[in-house]
Amino acid sequence: MEVLLVDAGGANLGSVRYAFERLGARVRIGREPGEVRSAARLVLPGVGAAGTAMARLRELGLVEALRARRGPVLGICLGMQLLFESSDEGDVECLGLLPGRVRRLAGGPGLRVPHMGWNGLCVVRADSLLSGVGDGDTAYFVHSYAAPVGDFTLAATGHGGQFSAVVRQGDCWGVQFHPERSAATGARILQNFLTGVPA
C-alpha cells in the first residue's frame, strides 16, 4: 500500500515515514497539488504552530487541493487540528474539513501545558480506524491545543477537561496523539489506516 505524506513543515515527517515503512508501506513525500488530489491515502503530519503550517500549505497551493480531494486523509497531532475550521493558536483559519474550533488546553493546578505523556483512550464509537483498539489503550500526546468532543469524536481523553483524541468526518480521520511514538496502539492505528479504512 502506498501513502503520501504532505510536507507541511512538521518536525515529525521523518518519524511518521519510518513508522509506515516498518508496516511495509511505500511512502512518498508530497508538496504538489496534483499529488495531494490523486494520492490513494494521504497523511497530514505536523509538529509546530497552526499559523505557520497553514501559511506553508497556502504557499504550496495545497489548501484548495486538500479541501477538494476525495479519499482517505489522516491528520496527526497538528495535522489533525488543521482539519478543523479554525484554531485559537494564532486565531488562524484552517482547512474546514471538520466542524469546530481548536482551543488551547486550560491547564490548572498539577496540569502542565503543553500536555506531554501517555493517556488512555475512551472509545466513543466504533470505527475501522480503531479496529483492535480498546478502552484504556494508551497513546503518547505532546500538544497545547485540542479539539472539543463532538459528533465527529471516535475516542476522547482528558487533560483538565475532555477533548477529542481520534476524530472522523467522512473520509477524513485525525489523531491528536503521535501514533509513530505510541507503541502497539499507534502501530495498530497506522496499519488500520493503510489496510482497514475504506478507500
Spot the catalytic one: 115, 143, 159, 178: 178
Give me the pLDDT at residue 9, please: 76
**Whether 178 is catalytic:** yes
Spot the catalytic one: 89, 94, 159, 180: 180
Given a contact cutoff of 8 angstroms between Cβ atoms, the answer to whether 155 and 123 are in contact is yes
Q: What is the pLDDT of residues 117-173, one digit of tens each?
A: 999 999 999 999 999 999 999 999 999 999 999 999 999 999 989 999 999 999 999
**Whether 172 is catalytic:** no
Give me the pLDDT at residue 115, please: 96
C-alpha cell at 77: 497531532
**Whether 159 is catalytic:** no
Residues 73-95 have a mean pLDDT of 97
Q: With DSSP H G I counted as helix, E B as strand and the rest as coil, what are the percentages for the chain, rounded to 5?
A: 30, 30, 40
- Domains, the chain, ordered by start: 2-195 (3.40.50.880)
Spot the catalytic one: 59, 64, 77, 93: 77
Is 164 buried (19+), middle (13-18) or exposed (0-12) by CB count in 10 A? buried
